Chains A and B, each alone.
Chain A
Amino acid sequence: MSPSSAATVTRIATDSGPGSAPKNVLHLDEHTLEIVSDSGEGAQKCGQIFASVSAKMNYGVWTVEIIPAEIEPPARTAAGASGNLIRFGRDKVTNWGDETNLVVAFNEQVLLARHRLDALSDDCIILIESKWAEDPDAEIRQEWQDAMEEISDRNYRVIPVPMEEQCLTRVDNPRKGKNMFALGLLAQIYGYDVEKISEQIRAQFAKKPPEVSKANVDLLELGVHWAQENLDLRIEVPRIETDEKRVVMNGNQAAALGAIASGMEFCAMYPITPATSVSQYLCDVFERYGGTMHQAEDEIAAAGAAIGASYAGKVALTVTSGPGLALKTEFIALAVMTEIPLVVLDVQRGGPSTGLPTKVEQSDLLAALFSQPGDAPRVVMAPATIEECFHSMVTARRIAKSFRCVVIVLTDANLASGQQQFQRPVLDERWHAAPANHRAVTSGERPYDWDPDTGLSRRIVPGQPGGMHTVTGLNHDHDSNVDYTPEINQLGCAMRSRKLAVLQQTMSPPPIHGDESGELLVVGWGSTKGAIEEAVDRVRAEGHAVSSTHLTFLSPMQPGLGEIFSRFEHVMTVELNYSDDPAAPYITPENRRLGQLAFLLRAQTLVDVDCWTRVPGQPLRPGHIADALRRKLSAASETEVRVNE
């Protein structure tokens, strides 16, 4: 053991003398903690319970799952780190912040994984299972020492905790119970109501025999007790009471519930991370609402079945992620061509190809807009928060139905598994489509009675006497008869496209965060909203004229963008997708490949939109965004100086 790491550990160990009452309580407006373990040791469950209880205590909460890339990664490896990060605070929390202030780690290897990702603050408090330091296996003892050495360049406060030893006093298999012990430590450190947590545990294990809840609550209490006796550490975060009715859930749950609330009646899917949990949830509950969940043989068939159901009069949904979206493209074009309403939920992950299956990215934007043969206009929208995951499903269904079009909803792995509380939705019958009406079709009514101005038309569905016709992916006229004439092809394309313009005219310009004009405008979309706004606030606090705006609709784009952009000297996007680093070899302004939104905005507005994008496989940090904004601002002022000279 190197002297320095030895010093770190011993110094801190003496810090927490047994039974000493906390000398000083830290008062903070917010705190970010995480709990990491080998996969299967329950850190995720521990984190989820802590987050739910925090939300129920009216803290603002944002969580991020730490997901290993494999199902059963080897134990005690950095690659296997699994857990949950929770940022909570007095005010609303909109992103995962910059760094973690407190970690509970079940071994030093998973801790190293977080350390190496620069995920921990310099003064991070680390509660770590102590048994590895004295493991009978010399190799493990060595690994522990190496790890302590590696982290010794930081001012972490490492507190070894005999988790397993303690748990063994209550249970035979500590691997199964450590997470509850850890929860107890957190409860004591943050002064949470143990009864509230016990309630949450009982709710989690409601389907199991009562002994299971009891054993878990025992371990929770053991953790609380141990912390009372041994930890000189209390952190207090104030909270604001509110009467607002709220719910707490993750984005996939919100999207699934939103689909039900919207009156959707049919969903077809093929399992794919990170969309699977939407489908699994619907598989569990959709039937209670008369909704059919169909697990198809592949993504193509899932899109086909959804289109078939929708053709037959239901509004259907298909749930997928990037690779699945790629497979559905031909069917999406068919839905566009036949004007069959369809909602596609794409929970984006890292790409291309199988890419980063469990990790977040915003790389499907251009695919969602353009990956069809021919001109296939469709609506693309991107919720930015978990609340919006719920409501965007309602909006998507309504648009799909009233505009007879395809709506692609882009969420991502960050929204999918992150938990946040939001105002409880007030459900409304008007969100549902009117029940199918198989009235007879009057003579003269046609399957594509395009209004010549708006392109809108009313659907005729099977079962309606007198309305028989064949829909076709071939070009067709008002009667759905195949027609190859130039005029009708031009008309059909125009009518399908016109609907987007009509929809666009019903929208308002996106709101501006910050001043209405200034030096730099940051434009974002999707789950990065909270991080971008936090970054903008920090840079504004330094006196810079920076604002941001966030687009909910990517196709058609909200109105007024050109006008808004003209009020700022510079416009840049911040996105979680790839763009060339302008300073990289061979990269010139002419050949630089841009972030996907930047690419679209330039085409849309003729403004020289710059971008700062990254593909870290994790959400963006507000601190990193703020740095990028500062660099942009100083580069801009340098060029100005040069120009003035």
Chain B
Amino acid sequence: MSEQLRSFFGCGLDDDRTFDLNDYGDSIPRWCVGCGDHGVLSAVKRMMRDQRLLPERTVFVSGIGCSSRFPHYLDTYGFHGIHGRALPIATGVKLSRPDLDVFVVTGDGDCCSIGAGHWLHATRYNIDMTVLLLDNAIYGLTKNQTSPTTPEGFETNTQPHGTYLPALNPLSTALGVTNASFVAQTADWVPAHLLATLKAAYEHVGFSFVRILQRCPKFSAPVFSEQARTPDLHELLFHSDGITVPSLDKIYKHRLEHDPSDLDRARSLAEDTERTRLGIFFKDATRPCYNAIRHLPTYTAAQNIERLNRELDRYAV
């Protein structure tokens, strides 16, 4: 939640506690060695520390998958739900408790397959929350089945002769949804970029959708291994209103200035997958947020009873 909203809801601001990384959790995750999820977890904790998020007012909601184990490794509130359905749960949390900072962690199967309907609608609701799509291009937890983002031809246990269809593009999908307000991409192997992206996503008021390219050395290693080793296969999107990570300039030669308010260009950049582009594709803080539109005053039980009695009068015999 932005400082502005915090002051609106009167929470957190008077709280000058600072936290260290361990305050957000110090348990050892059960992901495979080399799994990209580890790096995402570290970056998330760092971002929370930097932004001074209050652990008791932060909720991580997830579905089912390796990636969805995420909340268990944090000392915030967490809701490890069911496969594909993190977004509806998060919707209910944020609608009823606007004072909470809500994050969703989801996988490519969780978000883009079984939960795809919710993904589309949550994007349109534009509820203020940060959504991390940990995209390893495979079903990890269930061990190596094709997901919607598995590259065409890639052999998996369910499509052993090679994945039949071209992969779904989560960025252009998100950018195609009416009322999308924040779409970004980053990768687990570029920690500085990951952190900067998480910060920007958190600060954005609205539905901040971040696709994080995530290595799964266990099942989809070939999908990202060359990329992760080769900075030249990337292109960093930078802009004064987007993210700039000067420390990366030396290694990442390909850089492109992109104004995140330009939706048409965002769409064409997302569509063109020649290069792996990292950065904010689109951002528009003026899009209507469903949670703000639906925000309601609260009344006491006595007030409600008085009102309800008046309503009952309409039915009085």
**Which A residues lie at the B interface, using CB under 8 A?**
55-56, 58, 245-249, 253, 257, 260-261, 263, 265-266, 268, 285, 287-292, 294, 296-298, 300-314, 316, 330-331, 334, 338, 421, 424-425, 427-429, 432, 462-474, 482
Contacts and interface: CB of A to CB of B under 8 A. Distances in A.
B95 A266 contact: yes
Contacts of B61: 308
Contacts of B160: none
Interface stretch (B80-88, B239-247, B275-283): B80-88
A304 B78 CA distance: 15
8 contacts: A248-B315, A296-B88, A297-B118, A305-B91, A311-B79, A312-B100, A334-B81, A338-B79
Interface residues on chain B, size class: 35 or more
Interface stretch (B132-140, B169-177, B293-301): B293-301
Contacts of B87: 301, 304
The 6 A-B residue pairs whose C-beta atoms are closest, nearest first, are A308-B92, A304-B88, A470-B78, A305-B92, A309-B96, A301-B88
A14 B100 CA distance: 77
B91 A290 contact: no
A470 B79 contact: yes
B56 A311 contact: no
Given A316-B92, A334-B82, A245 B307 contact: no
Given A260-B304, A301-B118, A468-B77, A308 B88 contact: yes
B97 A463 contact: yes
Contact of A257 (B118, B294, B312): B312
Contact of B298 (A288, A290, A310, A311): A290
Contacts of A261: 305, 308
A253 B97 CA distance: 28
B149 to A, nearest CB: 22
Given A311-B92, A424-B316, A462-B100, A288 B79 contact: no
Given A58-B317, A308-B92, A462 B312 contact: no
A465 B12 CA distance: 12
A330 B89 CA distance: 13
Contact of B317 (A263, A313, A316, A421): A421
Given A263-B301, A464-B56, A471-B79, A292 B317 contact: no
Contacts of A285: 311
A260 B77 CA distance: 29
B315 A253 contact: yes
A471 B59 CA distance: 11
A308 B91 contact: yes
Contact of B312 (A58, A292, A303, A424): A424
Interface in B219-271: none
Nearest to B317: A246
B143 interface: no
A305 B75 CA distance: 23
Interface in B50-104: 55-57, 59-61, 64, 71-72, 74-82, 85, 87-97, 99-100
B56 A304 contact: no
A289 B78 CA distance: 29
B166 interface: no
A331 B316 contact: no
A199 B255 CA distance: 75
A58 B305 CA distance: 26
Given A292-B96, A307-B92, A331-B82, A470 B304 contact: no
Given A266-B92, A331-B82, A471-B80, A56 B56 contact: no
B89 A471 contact: no
Contact of A306 (B71, B92, B312, B316): B92
Nearest to B57: A463
B80 A265 contact: no
Contact of A427 (B77, B297, B305): B305
Interface in B98-134: 99-100, 117-118, 120-121
A85 B80 CA distance: 50
Q: Is the interface of A mostly helix, strand, loop or mixed?
A: mixed
Contacts of A465: 56
A443 to B, nearest CB: 14
Contacts of A304: 81, 85, 87-89, 91-92, 118
Contacts of A468: 55-56, 75-78
Contacts of A472: 72, 79-80
Contacts of A56: 317
A473 B299 contact: no
Interface of B: 55-57, 59-61, 64, 71-72, 74-82, 85, 87-97, 99-100, 117-118, 120-121, 294, 296-299, 301-302, 304-305, 307-309, 311-312, 315-317
B52 to A, nearest CB: 15
Nearest to A461: B77
Given A260-B304, A462-B77, A468-B76, A294 B95 contact: yes
Contacts of A429: 301-302, 305
Contacts of B117: 297-298, 301
A455 to B, nearest CB: 22
B88 A247 contact: no
Contacts of B93: 308-309, 311-312, 462
Given A257-B311, A261-B308, A290-B298, A473 B82 contact: yes
A331 B312 contact: no
Of B61, B96, B308, most buried by chain A (CB within 10 Å of CB) is B96
A306 B95 CA distance: 10
A191 B61 CA distance: 63
B99 A463 contact: yes
Given A424-B316, A427-B309, A465-B56, A263 B304 contact: yes
B296 A248 contact: no
A469 B60 CA distance: 10
Given A304-B92, A305-B89, A330-B85, 13 more contacts: A290-B304, A297-B120, A297-B121, A301-B88, A301-B118, A308-B90, A309-B92, A309-B96, A311-B93, A312-B100, A427-B305, A428-B305, A474-B80
Contacts of A288: 307
B315 A289 contact: no
Contacts of B85: 300-301, 304, 330-331
**Residue among A285, A302, A462, A467 with most chain B CB within 10 A:** A462
Nearest to A59: B317
Contact of A311 (B74, B82, B89, B301): B89
Contact of B92 (A268, A289, A338): A268
B308 A301 contact: no
Nearest to A254: B315
A456 to B, nearest CB: 22
Contacts of B304: 260, 263, 289-290, 432
A628 to B, nearest CB: 35
A306 B93 CA distance: 9
Nearest to B296: A290
Given A266-B96, A468-B56, A432 B301 contact: yes
Nearest to B61: A308
A411 B33 CA distance: 53
A524 B297 CA distance: 43
Nearest to A61: B317
Contact of B121 (A301, A308, A474): A301
Chain B CB count within 10 A is highest, among A304, A305, A308, A482, for: A308
A56 B91 CA distance: 43
Contacts of A316: 92, 96
B64 to A, nearest CB: 8
Contacts of B75: 468
Nearest to A303: B88
Contacts of A303: 88
A285 B76 CA distance: 35
A472 B83 CA distance: 12
A245 B309 CA distance: 13
